[in-house]
């Protein structure tokens, strides 16, 4: 075989790395990002202070410097890193699921309005929690916000699914435009509520519109634990079903997949992931678009790799982005949504140009 | 045996199928022919269990398919639909393996790959397994999906007493002459190996050459059925298709169908010369 023949033969072929290698590399990346996130911050406290901080926590010392280290490492950076990891994993997973469900690689919860719906529900809950909704909302405690955001995300996802069902398979452009429209409506209503309200929790408009992890706390970490568990249990049930759905709904059914059940689980999982992420960090776009795209470039579109891979890669990406958000303009902080948009928007543009906008493929 | 009994399908006031009954049996290739809009694809999709007919029922080895779970039905029938649009960059081997990695099958990855490679060999695409599906021509893609359907039936755990049905909706539509013949030979081989095969096809000459039985449809009804020689007669076909047809007998005794509009032109040309 000549070199030219070999080149021709390899044109359009795909070589897949072993799944083991992919997951080892991704796990390494996640650990590296987490360690970095704990070690870096505007206060300049390094990881060397960790033993002292733990000693304070366990009550072995009450040294003032050590107490400050503890505050920064254990009460600020650690919950923030955990939240960043969760938000990244949740958004990337829900992006991958939505893309499979809509057979559309451009679906992203931030771009098609699901996040905006979740944010509107969260904002409304804070306002109602002070007034007439209090008896209903107060008993939910720290879970009130993620539950409400889950509801908002669910309504938006169901709305998109019903639009898709009416049209058969949604053209890429139609889904994006419909999502843009309903997302803009939800965003506008949220802005009105936020601006009109004088509630302390709501005053930070950027949290809801551009996404931010600056309010990270252990309380928020605990609030999303049940959601993280639910997503981890549900997502693995979707992998083969979503693979089949990529062929088309009828084809998936021919392959023995209970398509209605897969769709229900996919919708619930997406809403739970987006709802919990929005409740703690506001609207963060592009993670759900960029991360599954990178995963498919690495390992192909098989959801058995794309879903767990996206979760790990998404966690790492958002942790890294949060480090940039904290450090770039220190002591001021950039909203993390802006950092991710700087990376994600060009990728989105590239994807659109490659496919041709409005194309049905 | 896969059997459609008195199937009627209505969409609003429109009647797509009207009391259509068809049975396909293991070891035989049944061709479903008829003009555009006759209801061939609708009947195939009803028999695939894709949707419920307004009236009538579909039975697989006597069992109503409504009582068979999707996963178990998948072990006993596979389907090649008319157009499949896959916009994610799967490789050819991965697409074919989707046929074997059905949730209920319990087939291991390695066995699935073996079944998939066998199916790819059958459709002549062995050297394509690492290519991404988006890079292939329409005809090549069609053969990949046929391989997927073959892989599904060969990999499925199934007692030998059960019927395995293969349903194909115009699998040769986007193929050139050579590949039409090749693909139909593969499909014919499947029926010889004991599969019950239903083939929706437009080309009457291919139907005559490959089918054991022919079912002729028009306006949602079945208007003729039997061996190719019985169904492919001038009066019945000319009436059904609404144009004059001429039927010749080929060297091997098989029927050849020509629209008279074409044969007239050819003979006129011959006279003029």
ipTM metric: 0.87
Do B72 and A105 lie within an 8 Å CB cutoff? no
DSSP codes joined into one string, B182-215: HHHHHHHHHHHTT-EEEEE-S-HHHHHHH-SEEE
Q: How many CA atoms lie within 13 A of A318 on its CB side?
A: 34
Considering chain B, tell me which residue range(s) the CATH 3.40.50.300 domain(s) occupy. Answer: 1-76+161-227
Q: How many CA atoms lie within 13 A of B161 on its CB side?
A: 2
User: Among A7-16, A112-121, A173-182, B261-270, whose mean pLDDT is lowest?
Assistant: A7-16
Of the candidates A286, A294, A275, A290, which has an alpha carbon nearest to the alpha carbon of residue A336?
A: A286
Separation CA B180–CA B167 (nearest Å): 17
Whether the CB-CB separation of B232 and B257 falls below 8 Å is answered with yes
Average pLDDT over residues B6-32: 94
Chain A residues near any Cβ of chain B (below 8 Å): 11-16, 103-105, 169, 240-241, 243-244, 246-248, 250-251, 253-258, 296, 300-302, 360-361
Interface size A-B, in CB pairs within 8 Å, comes to 95
Distance from CA of A257 to the nearest CA of B (A): 6
Tally of helices (H runs) and strands (E runs) in chain A: 17, 0
Whether the CB-CB separation of A246 and A104 falls below 8 Å is answered with no
Q: Which residues fall within 8 angstroms of residue B160, CB to CB, at 6 or more apart?
A: none
Q: At what angle do helices A144-166 and A259-281 cross, to 10 degrees?
A: 140
Domain B1-76+161-227 grouped into CATH 3.40.50.300:
yes
Distance from CA of A264 to the nearest CA of B (A): 16
Separation CA B187–CA B158 (nearest Å): 20
Do B50 and A253 lie within an 8 Å CB cutoff? yes
Which residues of chain B lie closer than 8 angstroms to A15, CB-CB? 130
Of the candidates B240, B243, B249, which has an alpha carbon nearest to the alpha carbon of residue B262?
A: B243
Domain ranges of chain A: 77-355
pLDDT digits over A175-229, tens only? 778 888 888 999 899 888 887 777 666 666 667 777 888 888 898 899 888 889 9
User: Among A302-306, B174-178, B183-187, B248-252, whose mean pLDDT is lowest?
Assistant: B248-252
Separation CA B233–CA A355 (nearest Å): 49
Do B88 and A301 lie within an 8 Å CB cutoff? yes
Structure tokens at A198: 């004088």
Of the candidates A197, A211, A231, A228, which has an alpha carbon nearest to the alpha carbon of residue A119?
A: A211
Separation CA A279–CA A257 (nearest Å): 33
Residue B243: Cβ within 10 Å count: 12
Choose the CATH number for A77-355 among 1.10.3470.10, 3.10.20.70, 1.10.230.10, 3.90.226.10: 1.10.3470.10
Average pLDDT over residues A115-120: 89
pLDDT digits over A124-169, tens only? 888 877 777 677 777 777 788 888 888 998 998 888 888 777 665 5
Token match 């470039």: residue?
Answer: A297
In this complex, the residue of A104, A240, A253 whose CB is nearest that of residue B103 is A240
Do A296 and B89 lie within an 8 Å CB cutoff? yes
Do B90 and A302 lie within an 8 Å CB cutoff? yes
Structure tokens at B115: 């079944």
Separation CA A216–CA A281 (nearest Å): 8
Token match 């009236």: residue?
Answer: B55
Separation CA A247–CA A236 (nearest Å): 19
Return mean pLDDT, chain A: 84
Tally of helices (H runs) and strands (E runs) in chain B: 10, 12
Instruction: Supply the pTM of this predicted model.
Output: 0.87
């Amino acid at each position: 075989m000549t070199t030219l023949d070999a080149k021709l033969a390899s044109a359009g072929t795909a070589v897949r790395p072993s799944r083991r290698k992919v997951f080892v590399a991704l796990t390494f990346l996640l650990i590296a990002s987490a360690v970095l996130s704990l070690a870096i911050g505007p206060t300049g406290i390094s990881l060397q202070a960790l033993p002292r901080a733990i000693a304070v926590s366990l009550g072995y010392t009450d040294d003032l410097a050590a107490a400050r280290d503890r505050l920064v490492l254990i009460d600020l950076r650690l919950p923030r890193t955990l939240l960043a990891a969760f938000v990244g994993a949740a958004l990337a997973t829900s992006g991958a699921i939505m893309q499979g469900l809509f057979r559309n690689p451009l679906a992203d919860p931030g771009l098609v309005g699901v996040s905006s719906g979740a944010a509107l529900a969260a904002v409304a809950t804070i306002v109602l929690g002070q007034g007439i909704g209090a008896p209903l909302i107060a008993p939910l405690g720290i879970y009130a916000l993620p539950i409400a955001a889950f509801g908002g995300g669910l309504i938006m996802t169901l709305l998109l699914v019903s639009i898709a069902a009416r049209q058969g398979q949604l053209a890429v452009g139609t889904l994006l435009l419909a999502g843009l429209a309903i997302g803009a409506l939800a965003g506008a209503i949220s802005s009105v509520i936020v601006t009109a309200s004088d509630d302390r929790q709501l005053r930070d408009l950027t949290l809801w519109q551009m996404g931010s992890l600056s309010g990270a706390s252990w309380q928020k970490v605990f609030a999303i634990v049940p959601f993280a568990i639910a997503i981890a249990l549900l997502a693995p049930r979707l992998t083969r079903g979503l693979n089949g759905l990529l062929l088309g709904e009828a084809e998936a059914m021919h392959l023995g997949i209970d398509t209605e059940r897969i769709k229900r689980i996919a919708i619930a999982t997406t809403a739970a992931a987006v709802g919990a992420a929005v409740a703690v960090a506001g609207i963060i776009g592009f993670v759900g678009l960029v991360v599954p795209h990178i995963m498919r470039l690495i390992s192909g579109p098989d959801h058995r790799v794309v879903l767990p891979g996206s979760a790990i890669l998404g966690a790492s990406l958002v942790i890294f982005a949060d480090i940039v958000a904290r450090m770039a303009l220190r002591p001021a902080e950039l909203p993390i949504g802006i950092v991710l948009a700087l990376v994600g928007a060009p990728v989105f543009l590239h994807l659109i140009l490659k496919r041709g906008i409005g194309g049905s493929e | 045996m896969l059997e459609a009994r008195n199937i009627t399908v209505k969409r609003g006031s429109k009647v797509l199928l009207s009391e259509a009954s068809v049975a396909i049996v293991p070891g035989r290739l049944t061709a479903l022919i008829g003009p555009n809009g006759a209801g061939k694809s609708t009947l195939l999709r009803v028999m695939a269990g894709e949707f419920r007919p307004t009236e009538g029922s579909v039975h697989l080895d006597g069992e109503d398919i409504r009582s068979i779970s999707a996963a178990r039905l998948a072990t006993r029938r596979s389907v090649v639909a008319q157009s499949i649009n896959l916009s994610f960059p799967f490789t050819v081997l991965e697409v074919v393996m989707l046929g074997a990695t059905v949730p209920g099958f319990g087939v291991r990855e390695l066995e699935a790959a073996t079944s998939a490679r066998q199916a790819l060999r059958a459709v002549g695409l062995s050297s394509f397994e690492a290519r991404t599906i988006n890079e292939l021509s329409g005809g090549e893609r069609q053969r990949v999906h046929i391989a997927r359907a073959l892989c599904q039936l060969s990999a499925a755990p199934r007692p030998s007493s059960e019927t395995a049905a293969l349903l194909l909706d115009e699998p040769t539509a986007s193929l050139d002459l050579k590949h039409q013949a090749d693909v139909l030979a593969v499909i014919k081989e499947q029926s010889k190996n004991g599969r019950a095969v239903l083939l929706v096809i437009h080309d009457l000459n291919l139907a005559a050459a490959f089918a054991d039985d022919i079912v002729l449809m028009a306006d949602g009804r079945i208007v003729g059925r039997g061996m190719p020689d019985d169904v492919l007669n001038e009066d019945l076909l000319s009436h059904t298709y609404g144009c004059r047809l001429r039927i010749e007998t080929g060297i091997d005794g098989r029927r050849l169908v020509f629209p008279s509009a074409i044969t007239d032109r050819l003979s006129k040309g011959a006279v003029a010369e």
